[in-house]
């Protein structure tokens, strides 16, 4: 009997999803969350045929150096700035991500942050839990927040998630503006009730500005001190994209000095550390990168990553046709270069 190919799963995953892998592979799955250093990652990836990795695993040329065995690397996330796709392609390794399945959950969560930051939900809850609520003596003009309905929503990055956020704005009677590298088809703009504007206009006009753009070197600090200075003092900034798109130190200064009303952040520069100034401010709602973390969606992401591994490794009904590959052309080279 020939040995099964080997798969490494870098983070704990749902047992039933791991069981799907175990039908075809010898599976080594991490039982606890743990950040893998480059050296450890290199060793793990050198000893397996396929791997499922998370956003904290940075797979670059150095990690792949000398790797003769790895064929498939499935990323648990739609964003893949943790992967050096060119290096993977050069090494003949198929990479995949998890688009679509998380779109609606992340759009929901962007709204959760908009509402929570605008209406000061986090700070009010902390205040209540601390026993400060004086009941009927509470001032009538205390805890005033910002209305969301009827305001202008700005979306920076109008991919699938941005469109999902825009569609939800109809129910809140909001005007929707967006800025994107390319204009949406007219039918899509109509469906989203969204109007394309220049980035400076978006910054100036938005009451709520949501960031949903991919993290690329060009997008580093797309929102820094100069951009924050163009925003309304009454505006709310929400980031569900990636840390590093916002200059967190500049954002903390703007929030502290009242140059921006509030923020809702799910992602941070250098996460899991969070800029200490953000931690000390009450006008920012902070969450630990959980925008896609609903029961159904995290399961769907895990299953999609596993679908990619199973199909790309030639098993199952879709053998040879992984559903969401990032560099599908590498598979053409396998026949000659990888057994």
- Spatial neighbors of 66 by CB under 8 A, at least 6 apart, are 46
Single out the segment in contact with ligand DGY by CB under 6 A; choices: 25-33, 63-71, 172-180, 284-292: 284-292
Contact call for residue 10 and ligand DGY (CB under 6 A): no
Which one among 88, 102, 246, 278 touches ligand DGY, defined by CB under 6 A? 102
Report in angstroms how near the CB of residue 290 gets to ligand DGY at its nearest.
7
Report in angstroms how near the CB of residue 80 gets to ligand DGY at its nearest.
8
Length in residues, the chain: 339
Helix, strand, coil: what percent of the chain each, to 5? Answer: 40, 15, 45
Is the Cβ of residue 79 or residue 244 nearer to ligand DGY in the bound state? Answer: 79
Catalytic residue numbers read 242, 271, 289
- Spatial neighbors of 126 by CB under 8 A, at least 6 apart, are 282
Report in angstroms how near the CB of residue 59 gets to ligand DGY at its nearest.
15
Report in angstroms how near the CB of residue 79 gets to ligand DGY at its nearest.
3
Single out the segment in contact with ligand DGY by CB under 6 A; choices: 27-35, 117-125, 244-252, 289-297: 289-297
Contact call for residue 77 and ligand DGY (CB under 6 A): yes
Contact call for residue 157 and ligand DGY (CB under 6 A): no
Contact call for residue 72 and ligand DGY (CB under 6 A): no
Is the Cβ of residue 261 or residue 302 nearer to ligand DGY in the bound state? Answer: 302
Nearest Cα residue to 108 out of 281, 295, 302, 233: 295
Contact call for residue 291 and ligand DGY (CB under 6 A): yes
For 176-226, what is the HEC assignment?
Answer: EEEECCCCCCHHHHHHHCEEECCHHHHHHHCCEEEECCCCCHHHCCCECHH
Nearest Cα residue to 330 out of 65, 86, 45: 86
Contact call for residue 326 and ligand DGY (CB under 6 A): no
Which one among 292, 306, 312, 325 touches ligand DGY, defined by CB under 6 A? 292
- Token pair listed for 232: 């309304």
Single out the segment in contact with ligand DGY by CB under 6 A; choices: 76-84, 161-169, 280-288, 314-322: 76-84
Which one among 78, 113, 260, 262 touches ligand DGY, defined by CB under 6 A? 78
* H or E segment and range at residue 282: none
Report in angstroms how near the CB of residue 75 gets to ligand DGY at its nearest.
8
Q: How far apart are CA 77 and CA 298, in angstroms?
A: 9
Contact call for residue 79 and ligand DGY (CB under 6 A): yes
Nearest Cα residue to 107 out of 220, 262, 212: 212
Single out the segment in contact with ligand DGY by CB under 6 A; choices: 26-34, 74-82, 155-163, 243-251: 74-82
Report in angstroms how near the CB of residue 97 gets to ligand DGY at its nearest.
7
HSE-up of residue 139 (Cα within 13 Å, Cβ side): 5
Contact call for residue 219 and ligand DGY (CB under 6 A): no
Q: Which residue has the tokens 């969401």?
A: 324
Q: How far apart are CA 84 and CA 61, in angstroms?
A: 7
* Beta strand residue intervals within the chain, DSSP E: 6-9, 26-29, 50-53, 72-75, 94-96, 152-156, 175-179, 194-196, 208-211, 236-239, 262-265, 284-286
Tell me which residues touch ligand DGY (CB under 6 A).
Answer: 77-79, 102, 289, 291-292
């Amino acid at each position: 009997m020939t040995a099964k190919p080997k798969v490494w799963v870098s983070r704990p995953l749902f047992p039933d999803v791991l069981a799907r892998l175990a039908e075809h592979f010898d599976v080594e799955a991490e039982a606890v969350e743990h950040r893998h250093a480059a050296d450890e990652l290199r060793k793990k990836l050198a000893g397996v045929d396929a791997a499922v990795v998370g956003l904290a695993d940075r797979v670059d040329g150095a990690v792949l150096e000398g790797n003769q065995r790895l064929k498939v690397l499935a990323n648990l996330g739609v964003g893949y700035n943790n992967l050096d796709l060119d290096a993977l392609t050069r090494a003949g390794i198929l990479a995949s991500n998890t688009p679509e399945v998380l779109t609606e959950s992340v759009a929901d969560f962007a709204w959760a942050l908009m509402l929570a930051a605008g209406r000061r939900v986090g700070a009010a809850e902390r205040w209540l839990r601390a026993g400060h609520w004086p009941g009927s003596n509470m001032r009538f003009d205390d805890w005033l927040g910002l209305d969301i309905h009827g305001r202008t929503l700005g979306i920076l990055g109008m991919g699938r998630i941005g469109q999902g956020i825009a569609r939800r704005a109809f129910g809140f009677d909001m005007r929707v503006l967006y800025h994107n590298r390319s204009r949406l088809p007219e039918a899509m703009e109509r469906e989203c009730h969204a109007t394309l504007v220049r980035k400076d206009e978006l910054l100036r006009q938005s009451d709520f500005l949501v960031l949903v753009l991919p993290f690329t070197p060009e997008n580093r600090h797309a929102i820094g001190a100069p951009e924050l200075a163009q925003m309304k003092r009454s505006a709310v900034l929400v980031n569900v994209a990636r840390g590093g798109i916002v200059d967190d130190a500049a954002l903390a200064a703007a929030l502290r000095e009242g140059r921006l009303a509030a923020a809702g952040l799910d992602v941070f520069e250098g996460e899991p550390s969070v800029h200490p100034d953000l931690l000390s401010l009450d006008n920012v709602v902070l969450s630990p990168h959980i925008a896609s973390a609903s029961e159904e969606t995290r399961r769907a992401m895990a299953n999609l990553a596993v679908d990619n591994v199973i199909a790309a490794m030639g098993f199952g009904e879709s053998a040879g046709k992984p559903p969401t590959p990032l560099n599908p052309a590498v598979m053409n080279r396998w026949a000659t270069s990888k057994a």
